[in-house]
Amino acid sequence: MSDIVLNVEVRERTGTGGARETRREGRVPGILYGGKLGPVAISLKNNELQKAINSGRFLANMITIEHDGETQTVFTKDVQFDPVMDFPVHVDFQRVDEDSTIAVEVPVQFVNEDKSPGLKRGGVMNIVRHAIEVNSPAGSIPSSIEVDVSGLDIGDSVHISAVTLPEGVAPTITDRDFTIATLQGSRAVIEDAADTEAGDEAEGEAEGETAEGDAED
């Protein structure tokens, strides 16, 4: 059983009107689907749901719902929020068990940035993917995927093939070695390199003119 247990009620009335009525009662409408059973319209107490969300262990995680004394393990698939007030207005749960394999987006965490030559020179990390969608056992979804950038220099890229994923976890994209991040030179680094190149060219031209003058003498 997960750390979060939420009591739910089955909603008899569905649709827009039913959802509005549920919210007026201080509850949040939701849907439970997946597995061998059909979809079921449910509702949760707004304050209990908000507390679960604030725990940081609700979104994209396994939780337990309880109805009439019976419990069921589910996966939080999606939560919709009011665009103005930022409170939950609808939640989607998927029926799963701990051995089920599900597709989920896991945030990327970059490590060893202090060991990157490119970052030390003032390079800038261009993050292509802030999260990676993976197939993972529902009971052991990683909280983050670590991407090691030690040794990364300006112009280098990090691809999924360079990332060590937890056991049983695999990217959903399998037809290409997709890019997670690249290291680009900042404007200061680029301008400094350009100035150095221009200085080298000017020095080379000056040496050439000196050599010509010596030859004429």
Residue 184 has a pLDDT of 93
Name residue 39's amino acid.
Answer: P
Shortest CA distance to 104 belongs to which of 149, 39, 171, 151? 171
CA 22 to chain CA mean position, Å:
31
Residue 99 tokens, joined: 């051995």
Q: Please answer whether residues 40 and 92 qualify as being in contact, where contact means their C-beta atoms are separated by less than 8 angstroms.
A: no
Token look-up 């390079």 returns: 123
What CATH code is assigned to 102-185? 2.170.120.20
Tell me the CATH class for 5-96: mainly beta
Residue labelled with tokens 């890019």 = 179
Q: Are 194 and 171 in contact (CB under 8 A)?
A: no
Tokens found for residue 177? 């070695």
Four-residue CA torsion sign, 160, 164, 170, 174: positive
Domain with CATH 2.170.120.20 in the chain: 102-185
Where in the chain are all domains bearing CATH 2.40.240.10?
5-96
**Model's pTM, two decimal places?**
0.69
pLDDT at 199: 53
* Mean pLDDT, each 10-residue run in order, the chain (217 residues): 85 87 93 88 94 88 90 91 92 87 92 95 94 91 93 95 94 96 74 53 56 54
Distance CA 50, CA 42 (A): 16
Terminal Cα-to-Cα distance of the chain (whole angstroms): 93
User: DSSP class of residue 30?
Assistant: E
Residue whose C-alpha is closest to residue 30's, from 104, 95, 83: 95
